[in-house]
A = this chain, B = another copy of it.
Amino acid sequence: MIYSRQREVILGALRSTRSHPTAEELYSMIKPENPGISLATVYRDLNQLAAHGMILRIHAKSGPDRFDGNTSEHYHAVCSECGRTVDIFTDDMPDVCAAANGQDEIQVSSVLMLFAGVCKQCRESQQDTILKGEPS
């Protein structure tokens, strides 16, 4: 992988945010300062960066893939209310692969986990709603 300006820009943009942007969102983020760039290049470079382990691909249940410039070990959860993808950092994740290896039909070596829940923001606005007496 030889040097490329576009890839550097894309990687920089991805590392500068914690919002787990999609390819299109990243494209919109960098387009103003890089008017010549094309969406196809964003897709291509994201694929390469992911293949080289330099970024993470978050494969959501619905909608386009999201990307994360933080490759340190962590997990992701999608808020069922607002749809945002948030990071989860923990050292206590149990070894689910070991648990999955009880039978010999398949020898498991890795797992993809995607959590779902309600984020802090949405919990707080739900509480506000309850206090205001609005119907649930």
* A interface residues (Cβ-Cβ under 8 A, vs B): 59, 61, 75, 77, 79-80, 86-90, 92-97, 99-100, 102-120, 123
Contact B111–A116 (Cβ < 8 Å): yes
Chain B residue with the shortest CB-CB distance to A65: B61
Measured CA separation A33–B82 after assembly (Å): 44
Q: In the complex, A4 Cα to B46 Cα: how many Å?
A: 44
Q: How far is the CA of A107 from the CA of B118 in the complex (A)?
A: 5
CA distance A79 to B93 in the complex (A): 23
Copies in the complex: 2
Given A94-B94, A113-B113, A114-B112, is A103 in contact with B89 using a C-beta cutoff of 8 Å? Answer: yes
**Residue from the list B89, B99, B106, B113 in contact with A112, Cβ < 8 A:** B113
Q: A61-B59, A97-B115, A111-B114 are in contact. Are A105 and B92 (CB under 8 A)?
A: no
Q: Are A113 and B96 in contact (CB under 8 A)?
A: yes
Known pairs A107-B118, A118-B107; A88 contacts B100 (CB<8 A): yes
List 20 interface pairs A-B (beta carbons < 8 Å), by A numbering. A77-B108, A79-B106, A86-B106, A88-B103, A89-B103, A90-B100, A90-B102, A92-B102, A93-B96, A93-B99, A94-B96, A96-B113, A106-B119, A107-B119, A109-B117, A110-B115, A111-B115, A112-B114, A112-B115, A112-B116
